[in-house]
Amino acid sequence: MSEKRVVITGMGAITPIGNNVENFWKGIKNKECGIGPITQFDASNQKVKIAAEIKDFKPEEHFEAKSLKRLDRFSQLAMVAAREAMKDSKINEENTDMTRVGTIISSGIGGLYTIEEQNRNLVEKGPDRVSPMYIPMTITNMATGNVAIDLGLKGESFCVVTACASGTHSIGEAFRMIRHGYQDVVFAGGTEASITPTGIAGFANIKALAIQEDVTRASIPFDKERSGFVMGEGAGVLVLEELEHAKKRNATIYAELVGYGASSDAFHITSPAPGGEGGARAMKLAMQDANITPDKVDYINAHGTSTPLNDKCETMAIKTALREHSKEVMVSSTKGNTGHLLGAAGAVEAIACIKALQEGFVPPTIGYKVKDEECDLDVVPNEGRNKDIQYAMSNSLGFGGHNSTVVLKKWEE
């Protein structure tokens, strides 16, 4: 059986710089920073007091009161993004067999809001006061389950939990499912809502978060003064579709997904392998899968978390994977805009790549001031570039040594 081609026909996003794809992309182009003081809880006794929160999100505008009692915030965000993606794709029961539409919406952590809330109930009020909805609200697969139920998607439905690589792994696995004929369409992406007391404290105490309170110098990927990432929240969902199926229903095609690579560092639970060896293998595998040579890659949306170790190791990984072309390729991180969306990062960043391919605009790395000789790539500092690009690569790396890369191509008939 010949491999099928896979295209993107719908997108949805809710992010700290825009609550839909259009506003998110405007935020990228306008160099907006979505980081600010934490408002979702009293952070006065925390080491870290800033995060990249979603603005002006009113759940009651999207869900009935009864539903809200059954949905953790991470599921709410996934459903909002998925609804936008479905509307954008124009998929419906008339033009698509819904039993062949899959769902892979992943999360790194799951329902942390509800875990904390119900643990307080247990400690303060006793076991009988723990909600009967506690488990179905918190388990990590419920974002994908709720999206499938909400939209009537009856194909394969599961989630990939690989920490901050979850969103990219989801897209990659969806790509394989369609390419090999198991599904016609897959809604794929990631969601995260972990700006909670234990979420912030846990990442702060492992020394992963920036304790900088100046929001313009907190999430500064590849900058020599970077000191950690800034927690973000949000969701991104892409509609992946088999090319002939998309053409048959006259769908709008935004880009083609042509390559996917994944690897394991098998090294350490939080630190990347020396020299970014695992990340380099993921990139090489993705380029091989796409049947392209390194010189064809025009732009890389880096994982670029703004932690000292990640950005250094990812730089080394890009040099290993792209060899001489690493001196020419444009590499930026949009985490200066959104903070780090953990399991949602890869999905939202894939959307940024698709928009970059569509519009010929390369996103900048904002907040960049101090050059780091160990991160000596073209990081597109502070100003985006109007440049026609044919291939874009998106990297994600997760705790546990999980690496994933996708390659997207500008759509041409």
Catalytic residues, by residue number, are 164, 303, 340
Decide: residue 244, CB within 10 A, 0-12 exposed, 13-18 middle, 19+ buried: exposed
Length of the chain counted residue by residue: 413
Nearest-angstrom CA–CA distance, 260 and 396 = 12
- Three-state DSSP class for residue 27: helix
Burial 257-283 (b: 16+ CB within 10 A, else e): bbbbbbbebeeeeeebbeebbbbbbbb
How many helical (H) and strand (E) elements, i.e. helices and strands, does the chain have? Answer: 13, 13
CA distance 301 to 348: 11
Q: Which amino acid is at 153?
A: L
| Strand 255-264 to 402-410 pairing | antiparallel
CA 130 to chain CA mean position, Å? 32
Q: Which amino acid is at 232?
A: G
Distance of CA 85 to the CA centre of its chain: 15
Q: Which of 235, 234, 245, 253 is nearest to 88 (CA)?
A: 253
Dump the DSSP string for 155-184: S-B-----GGGHHHHHHHHHHHHHHTTS-S
Taking alpha carbons only, the member of 23, 24, 49 closest to residue 38 is: 49
Return the number of other C-beta atoms located less than 10 Å from residue 123's C-beta.
Answer: 8
H helices of 234-307, where? 243-248, 277-290
